[in-house]
Chain A
Amino acid sequence: MEYSLKGKIIVGGTAKGKVLSTTQPINFLSSVDHRTGRITDNNHELCGKFLKDSILIFPYAVGSSVGAYSIFALKSNGASPSGIICTLKTDITTASGCAIANIPLLQLCKEQVIPEIENSSEGIIDGGYLQIKKV
């Protein structure tokens, strides 16, 4: 199965990686180990998963304003997602963190229906599109 979803480019660039998808928001400061990229919050459905080299698909970031530095630190430590998709709204923390870390960031267009995405899929961000391929 292949899908192609249209998005608004917030931070440009191309990226490829294993899809990591969640419907729960993320607090990048308190829920992610910025040295390893591991999601550490026991209350989060992605707990135990690693952001490294992924295409992270999530609604928006919550909580700490310092989360922008956390995204930058993830990138500096080689533990960041390759690209990020915000499905509901692009918050300022994610946008500014990605801008400084040069991580491609798309805001999914409103009319897009997000299919059930399996976490084993591969995602590619290219221009204003996210392509998802089942591997």
Chain B
Amino acid sequence: MDLTREEEDSLNGKNGSSISTAYKILLSIGKATNAEKLIPVEWVHLSGVNYNTIGDAGVEFLTKYSEEAQFVVPTTINPMGYDSHQQNNLSSNFHKQQSKIAKAYEKMGSIPSFSCIPYELFQLPESGHSVSFAESNAAVMANSVFGLRTNKESSLSALASAITGKAPYSDLRIDSTRDPKIRIKIDKELKTELDYGVLGYFSGKSVKESCVSFGSDISNIDMYKTKSLSAALGTSGACGMFSSRDTHDETITFGKEEEKSVIDELNTTDSGDVIALGSPQLGMYELELLSKMIAGKKFSKKCMIFCARSVYEKSCKSGMAKILENAGANIICDACTCLSPLLSREEYDGVITNSVKAAHYLNKSNGVSVSLKDLKSIVMEYAK
């Protein structure tokens, strides 16, 4: 990858060690993705905010890094481990370390979004512009739905973009890669958001390319299904984009058998002691959908709904939050089902969710069994 004279100087430390570290990261990912040069990005979305995921090594790194580093483009950040406006049973150490992380990002100039759905909350750059999005669901959504151009960034590569305002011109930032070379042929009826999550999880595992086509079958699906598909695709694979554009290249079939293999892997119990909704965090569309289903009923099990704070505030104004809270739901902001320590195995034996992404991390990281059911079935079974 060619660097300009200025970029070379920055790499060599002329503008301080934090900028030099950022260029070192950009150089490694530029080489990895065969980039010829760096280009400007107009928005960055960072992951690596939850203490449960980045641990003490991450806290130490960010605390030190933030002493000098400053973001030069608008930068939103992912959820953290809990809702700071609510009581919880987490240890004082967790609170201390989590608050150090939040402070480090604040010091560098981030927008305190604590959300994995920046595309629903902010006026992002227009279609065709380059951004740098870590958080796999947000990267897939940005590329596939909003026409933005980002690679499937890591926490650290997106951090480097926030510091420099640049990212490699490679992979999904180039037209030819955004043209799918592989197609998943959908050979069964898909009805619910869970069905689309299962499709996404299977597809991520099956393709190594950066962009996959589902053909025109997915061109008219709603926001809930699209988010479910994107999150699962980003969880199981390295793919950062889906497209409805057809391709005559290789085809892989997704039918009943393929669906079963995903369910067998992730559905590890028949029921659970808590319902968890929101991975990705729920937006206004899903809250509206749920509040219509649940109006006048009560959940028979504890129910946790994860959403962005600004979405919660809107839903308070519209009266939807009241409907959900009257049904017994606890609405949690700034956190997410996926990897929240609020859903630990010390506290719960099994979690009921419709999120395939959450099922992956609950099973494999939190060590909690998961019962996968679609939203309608959850309401039918666990609310009266």
Contact = CB atoms under 8 A, between A and B. Distances in A.
Contacts of A43: 265
Contacts of B135: 65
Contact of B58 (A69, A88, A91): A69
Contacts of B361: 29-30
A94 B134 CA distance: 13
A19 interface: no
A40 B364 contact: yes
B31 A95 contact: yes
A11 B31 CA distance: 9
Given A88-B208, A91-B238, A99-B25, A65 B155 contact: yes
Q: Which of B27, B28, B61, B360 has the most CB of A within 10 A?
A: B28
Contact of A30 (B47, B158, B234, B364): B364
A98 B28 contact: yes
A41 B364 CA distance: 6
A6 to B, nearest CB: 15
B180 interface: no
Given A25-B238, A92-B152, A92-B153, A72 B32 contact: no
A35 to B, nearest CB: 8
Interface in A48-69: 59-69
Q: Which of B61, B153, B154, B364 has the most CB of A within 10 A?
A: B154
A93 interface: yes
A96 B29 contact: yes
Interface stretch (B49-57, B303-311, B345-353): B49-57
Given A34-B55, A63-B235, A72-B57, A92 B154 contact: yes
A134 interface: no
Given A68-B157, A73-B54, A96-B157, A62 B204 contact: yes
Contacts of A31: 364
Contacts of A64: 47, 53, 136, 235
Contact of A92 (B33, B47, B48): B33
Contact of B48 (A61, A69, A76): A69
B98 interface: no
A8 interface: yes
Interface string B137-157: 001000000000001111111
B181 to A, nearest CB: 14
Contacts of B151: 92
Nearest to B237: A62
B58 A72 contact: yes
B61 to A, nearest CB: 7
Given A29-B365, A30-B364, A41-B364, A92 B157 contact: yes
Nearest to A43: B265
B247 interface: no
A95 B21 contact: no
Contact of A73 (B57, B153, B154): B57
A125 interface: no
Contacts of B55: 34, 69, 73
Contacts of B208: 59-60, 88-89
B57 A92 contact: no
Contact of A97 (B56, B154, B160, B364): B154
A37 to B, nearest CB: 13
Contact of A95 (B32, B236, B360, B365): B32
A14 interface: no
Contacts of B21: 100
A121 interface: no
20 contacts: A27-B235, A27-B364, A29-B361, A63-B235, A65-B139, A66-B54, A67-B154, A68-B156, A69-B53, A75-B57, A76-B56, A76-B57, A92-B32, A92-B157, A96-B29, A98-B28, A99-B24, A99-B27, A99-B28, A100-B24
Given A65-B155, A90-B32, A100-B156, 6 more contacts: A63-B360, A65-B47, A66-B48, A66-B50, A91-B32, A92-B157
Interface of B: 21, 24-25, 27-29, 31-33, 47-48, 50, 53-58, 60-61, 134-136, 139, 151-158, 160, 204-205, 208, 234-238, 265, 339, 360-361, 364-365
Closest 6 CB pairs of A and B: A99-B28, A90-B32, A68-B154, A65-B134, A76-B57, A95-B32
